[in-house]
Amino acid sequence: MELLYALTLGVLTSCGIYLLLRARTFTVILGLTLLSHAVNLYLFASGRLATSAPAIVGFADHSADPLPQALVLTAIVIGFAMTAFVVVLALKAAVELRNDHVDGENPDEDRP
Amino acid sequence: MSLGLVILIPLLGACLTAWQREGTSRNLALMAALPAVLSLVLLLAWLPEVLAGVTQVQRLAWIPSLGLELSFRLDGLSWLFAMLIIGIGCLIVWYARYYFAGKPGAGRFFTLMLLFMAAMLGIVLSENLLFMLVFWELTSLVSFLLIGFNTDSQGARRGARMSLVITGGGGLMLLAGLVLLGQAVGSYQLTDVLAAGPMLRAHDHYGLILGLVLLGAFTKSAQFPFHLWLPHAMSAPTPVSAYLHSATMVKAGLFLMARLHPALADTELWFSLVTVTGMLTLMVGAFVAMFMHDMKGLLAYSTVSHLGLITLLLGLGTPMAMAAALFHLVCHALFKAPLFMMAGYVDQATGTRDMRKINGMWRFMPVLMGLSAIPAAAMAGLPLMSGYLSKKMLFSESLQLATPDWAVAVIPVWVTLAGLFSVAYSIRIFHNVYFNGKPIDLPIWPPREPRYAALAPIALLAMLSLVIGLMPAEAYRWLVHPAVLAARQTLLPQYEFDQLGAALPMAMSLVAMAGGLLFYAIRKPLFRLHARLPEVDAKEIFDWIMRWVIELSQRRVYQLENGSLQRYLMFLLVTAVILVGLELIRLPDWRGPLPLTAIDPLTAVAAAVLCLSAIGVALFHHYRLPALLLLGVTGLFVTLTFARFSAPDLALTQLSVEVMAVVIMMLALSFLPQQSPKESSGARFGRDLVIAGLVGAGIATLSFAILTRPYESIATFFLANSLPGGGGTNVVNVILVDFRGFDTLGEITVLGIAAVAVYAFTRDLHLKERVAGSSAGHWVAEPHPIMLSMVARLVLPIALLVSAYIFLRGHNMPGGGFIAGLITAVALTLQYMSGGLVWAQERMLTHFRPLIGGGVLIATATGLGSWLFGRPFLTSAFGHFDWPLVGEFELATAMLFDLGVYTTVVGATLLILANLGKLMTVSGPGKEVG
């Protein structure tokens, strides 16, 4: 299971990084979202994988590590807020600069 | 009495003059003189200790935990320099009072001058080397402002820039040298450094340390080939030149060499570096000064030459060379300052500094002539004057050398020749200005002598030169001897002035004088000869080097920082891959000792779907809507992953967030092009693929290594204390609202800030001019589906009930404020989507920003509430109550905190969504959303 988890994480990260390196804002946002999934799963994994053992007192005789879960929970919510912020940033850039390239100018246009 | 006061008083004075900068030059001079005189008196009060050879070190704790302290040191050497700095400073204030009479900028000058004085005092009085360096850099900065005082003159600006580049660059070298020195000694305190001389001279880095420290000293003291900045600094007002180039700025480098003498000197390397540099500077300065037609230019190059002379003496290493060096240093300060002042007066009276025009001034300024005869004679080294003795001391020391052979042979001749030049230029500036025929084409006619009161500083300094010349032994004993002892850190006898009567020094002196006279007599053919020499303008070379450096660094900067996000990310990721990769490779075994758990088919399938959907997003990212849908699939399977591995809270959160995130991105997509152009070249594509693959492989390896290794967790504490300490069985929630409640408070604040930022951004965003390629118009025209709106209205109360339930049970079962808030937000979002923004907004009972603020306030107030009970911030309390019909019921203050979280989450999420949604409507919902 650990190997499967690690491989899945690797695939998620790779896809996220690849998209992050593209030149259009929307694609970069897609990449960021994938990457934040990967980061959350990675942090979550630092508590190791537990099956049928939620961190609820008295639910089972052993219990998953609650600390990474608590950290990841807030990370998910803040990640959402950040996504929303980047989305608005991308919209604003697209409107004001009239293109959606990450550098604010299309590469075929003249560069100083 | 604190030594720090000596530095602090001029600093305070600078504040005073800065505050009163519009005053007349007379009032400002009084204001500036007051702190200077006060400091002088303080310094004089220490004379008995200094004469007794006591070294005082005062330490003021600053940040004791870091071992940082303000420490000051006063011994003979620092006392002598401080006296020169303040004493000459007082006279400069006097002089400047007349120089600036009726001119603008007096306030600025006095402020900067006091600041400069404080910085110089800081250099000489510091005990800590790094502390000294701070003052050292401060003098570079303030001198930049002083030299560039006439901001509208291009020459002044260039001169200031040049001095800053050279002395500032030297300061950086010095920083490196002093840090190395401090590391070698293990302390930055001068006391330790001076005691560590033998160890330092044997140290591996001795050569490097010495080279760097000397570069710092040479640049500051205008040694060849760094002397360039000094003549170009002459565009400054004359009081600045008189102060910086007689007693202060340029003496800082000499001070450093004298100060660090016990630590670094008396090696062959020191001898060759310092002596040879001094010799070159001495000769170059003297030679160029000879042929200068500009009064201040001549004085500037003569200063360069005298600085070279002192450096030469500091390098010699004979027992009494230090005595000669410091004695000459005092003499030079005393005769160069009045000569600069004189040049300033003549300049003001005639309107020019060109000595080909200024002739025969004795007729117009007899008193000035009489007064300046003395410093000019002292500079020439004529008998009875201070300079006569210091020059003979130089000659005598040059004869004391025993090794090396070249120096024994060359230096005596060399210094005699330089002495000859100095006689010639000293005669030139005096004879040329006051005699030598009649004035030619003076811009101001007739020249008028300045008022007697204005001449007083010159008179005082001239008198001092004379007194030292007449009573050298007394002057030496009172002023110089303690400094020599402090600089050498050994016991030395008094200097025997009688030995100067010996035949050889006398002969050398006579040769210099006669030769100088002869040289001056045949100056006209010599000038013609000199004019025919090919002109090497060092400034051109300097400018060329500066241009080259700037171009080079610009090219480098553009290569690194060309505005391309993709390139920055590439650098960042490659660095991360290399750094993490290096560590991973060193790992003996990627798989840890923990046994692997079995894979069940369902999980394997889910993982495959997760991978495929992520790869699908990457593959089809050109088609944005399908890619976004696939991203939603990825999010759902991440949710399942959380659920599979015992994290119900995370699964619930991720589920609701996923819905909102996809909705937001869909909204955004309606304004953006629907497809991404295929623009990456094959090479770029391959490069990115490799980087992405490497990062992914690194993360996979890393997480596998972590997952298969046992660890010590602090989770046991939380699990054990959750129920007794926090009153809840859902440990994740108890951590969020209780154990780590302060973190959560910070996090909801961040959430609120992000939402408000979105609100601020969208408020002024007008999407009327749509981005090319978007299809927003088409989407907006769709009517709201009737089925959806009917169902949504039915769902709302149920959803709210569910969220209340989730909220209430959160402390004990999966749920809590974050999740409940998100569920509420999703339910309300559904209303917006089905009924339209206007419809939903009209039915909202509150704005969203107050919700955010209120939520953060509730959470904070809950935390503060525990203060009322004398507990630390955010201590929670809980109790069990019996509620009729419902049964036992638990109430905890943490719940109140969670309510704050809930409110913030609802407010923030809806503020973001509603504002993005607002962009969809063509004219907006009529009133502001938020």
pLDDT tens, position by position, B12-25: 999 988 888 888 88
Which pLDDT does position B113 carry in this prediction? 93
Tell me the backbone φ, ψ of residue B73, rounded to 5 degrees: -140, 130
Q: Chain A interface, mutation test: which of B699, B897, B905, B918, most A Cβ atoms within 10 Å?
A: B699
- A104 found inside a domain: no
Closest Cα of chain A to B721: distance in Å?
10
Across B572-594, average pLDDT:
89
Instruction: Find the helix packing angle between B682-707 and A25-45, rounded to 10°.
Output: 20
Select from A4, A15, A38 the Cβ nearest to the Cβ of B615: A15
Residue A65, in any domain of the structure = yes
pLDDT of residue A110: 46
| Residue B1 maps to a domain | no
Chain A closest CA to B872's CA: distance in Å? Answer: 22
Nearest to B754 among A1, A17, A85 (CB): A85
In a domain, A33, yes or no: yes
Is the residue at A43 inside a domain? yes
In a domain, A20, yes or no: yes
Q: A-chain residues within 8 Å CB-CB of B765? A: 88, 91-92, 95
Residues of chain B contacting residue A38, judged by C-beta atoms under 8 Å apart: 699
Instruction: Name the region of A52 (left: φ>0; alpha: ψ -120 to 50; beta: rest).
Output: left
Q: How confident is the model at residue B739 (pLDDT cuts 50, 70, 90)?
A: confident
Q: Pull the structure tokens for residue B309.
A: 């002379």
Predicted pLDDT of residue A59: 80
Q: Where are the beta strands (DSSP E) in B821-928?
A: 878-883, 887-892
Q: What angle do CA B404, B408, B409 make, to 5 degrees?
A: 120
Cβ contact, residue pair A29, B703, below 8 Å: no
Q: Quote the pLDDT of residue B66.
A: 64
How close B581 comes to chain A (CA, Å)?
14
- Answer yes or no: do B599 and A88 touch at CB < 8 A: no
pLDDT at B62: 76
Q: What's the pLDDT score for residue B842?
A: 78
Residue of A nearest to B605 (CA): A4
Whether A42 maps to a domain, the answer reads yes
Q: Are B856 and B749 in contact (CB under 8 A)?
A: yes
CA distance A60 to chain B (A): 11
Q: What's B392-428 look like in SS3?
A: HHHHHHHHHCCCCHHHHHHHHHHHHHHHHHHHHHHHH
- From chain B, the residues in CB contact with A97 under 8 A are none
Annotate B762-822 with three-state secondary structure: HHCCCCCCCCCCCCHHHHHHCCCCHHHHHHHHHHHHHHHHHHHHHHHHCCCCCCCHHHHHH
A48/B688 Cβ within 8 A: no
**DSSP state, residue B272:** I
Q: Is residue A108 part of a domain?
A: no
Using one digit for the tens of pLDDT, what is the confidence trace for B328-365? 999 999 999 999 999 999 998 888 888 888 888 888 88
Residue B651 forms part of a structural domain: no
Cα–Cα distances in angstroms (integers) from residue B862 to residues B745, B856, B867, B878, in the given order: 11, 10, 10, 13
Say whether pLDDT at B925 is over 70: no
- Partner residue facing B634 (CB), from A37, A46, A55: A37
Share of chain B above pLDDT 70, in %: 95
pLDDT in tens, B170-212: 999 999 999 999 889 888 889 999 998 889 999 899 999 999 9
**B929: which chain A residues are within 8 Å (Cβ-Cβ)?**
none
Closest in A6, A53, A77 to B703, CB measured: A6
More confident residue, B393 or A106: B393
Q: Is pLDDT at A4 greater than 90 in this prediction?
A: yes
Taking only the tens place, the pLDDT of each residue in A7-47 is 999 999 999 999 999 888 999 999 999 999 999 999 999 98
Q: Do B610 and A4 make contact, defined as CB atoms within 8 angstroms? A: no
Chain A positions in Cβ-Cβ contact with residue B693 (cut-off 8 Å): 14
Residues B749-788: tens digit of each pLDDT: 999 999 999 998 888 776 655 544 455 554 554 567 788 8
pLDDT band of residue B908 (cuts 50, 70, 90) is: very high
Task: Tell me if B89 sits within 8 A of B113, measured CB to CB.
Answer: yes
The answer on pLDDT for B835 being more than 60 is: yes
In a domain, B658, yes or no: no
Contacts of B908 in chain A (CB under 8 A): 81
Contact A6 B761 (CB under 8 A): no
**Cβ contact (<8 Å) for B614 and A85?**
no
Smallest Cα distance from B236 to chain A, Å: 39
Is the distance from CB of B459 to CB of B27 less than 8 angstroms?
no
Q: Is the pLDDT of residue B303 over 90?
A: yes
Q: Is B634 within a domain?
A: no
Containing structural domain, residue A58:
2-97
Q: Which residues of A touch B751 (CB under 8 A)?
A: 77-78, 81
Work out the pLDDT band at A108, boundaries 50, 70, 90. low
Q: How many independent structural domains does chain B possess? A: 2
Mean pLDDT of B655-676: 87
Other C-beta atoms within 10 Å of B334: how many?
28
Is residue B853 in some structural domain? yes
Complex ipTM, two decimals?
0.94
Model confidence at B554: pLDDT above 60: yes
pLDDT tens track for B840-862 = 777 877 888 999 999 999 999 98
Q: Which residues of A touch B641 (CB under 8 A)?
A: 8, 41
- With CA atoms as reference, report the closest residue to A34 among A18, A46, A53, A47: A18
B208, B271 Cβ separation under 8 angstroms: no
Helix/strand/coil for B63? strand
Whole-number pLDDT of residue B35: 92
Round the average pLDDT of chain B to a whole number and report it: 87
Tally of structural domains, chain A: 1
Q: What is the pLDDT of residues A38-90, one digit of tens each?
A: 999 999 999 888 888 888 888 877 888 899 999 999 899 889 989 999 998 88
Maximum pairwise Cα distance, chain A: 67
Model confidence over B853-896: pLDDT tens digits? 999 999 999 888 888 887 888 777 777 777 777 667 677 788 88
Q: Which residues contact B226 (CB under 8 A, 6 or more apart)?
A: B166, B170, B218, B219
Q: How many CB pairs under 8 A join A and B?
A: 313
Residues in chain B closer than 8 A to A17 (CB atoms)? 573, 691-692, 695-696
Residue B879: count of CB within 10 angstroms of its CB? 10
Is B699–A92 a contact, with Cβ atoms under 8 angstroms apart? no
Substitution target in B572, B707, B764 with the highest count of A β-carbons within 10 Å is: B707
Please name every residue paired with B880 in a beta bridge, in sequence order, or none if there are none.
Answer: B890
* pLDDT of the residue at B754: 92
Residue A111's pLDDT is: 46
Q: Do B614 and A12 touch (CB under 8 A)?
A: yes
- Identify the sign of the CA torsion B208, B212, B214, B219: positive
Q: Do B699 and A9 touch (CB under 8 A)?
A: yes
End-to-end CA distance of chain A: 53
* Minimal C-alpha gap between A72 and chain B (Å): 7
Domain that holds residue B908: 730-930
Return the percentage of chain B with pLDDT > 90, whole number.
38
Distance from the Cα of B682 to chain A's closest Cα (Å) equals: 13
Which residues on A lie below 8 Å from B719 (Cβ)? 55, 57, 63, 66
**How close is the nearest chain B Cα to the Cα of A90, in Å?**
9
Closest CA relative to residue B88, chosen from B376, B331, B370: B331
The residues, ordered by sequence, that sit 6+ positions from B117 with a Cβ below 8 Å of its Cβ are: B10, B36, B39, B85, B86, B89, B248
Of B692, B731, B771, nearest to A66 by CB-CB distance is B731
Lowest-confidence segment of B67-76, B113-122, B762-771 by average pLDDT: B762-771
> Over the stretch A85-100, which tens digit does the pLDDT of each residue have?
999 888 888 888 888 8
CA-nearest residue of chain A to B671?
A91
User: How far is CA B648 from its chain centroid?
Assistant: 51
Q: Which residue of A has its CA nearest to B724?
A: A57
Owner of token pair 């500083």? B457
Residue B50 has pLDDT above 50, yes or no: yes
Residues of chain B found within 8 Å of residue A56, distances taken between Cβ atoms? 729-731, 812-814
- Find the residue in A nearest to B689 (Cα): A18
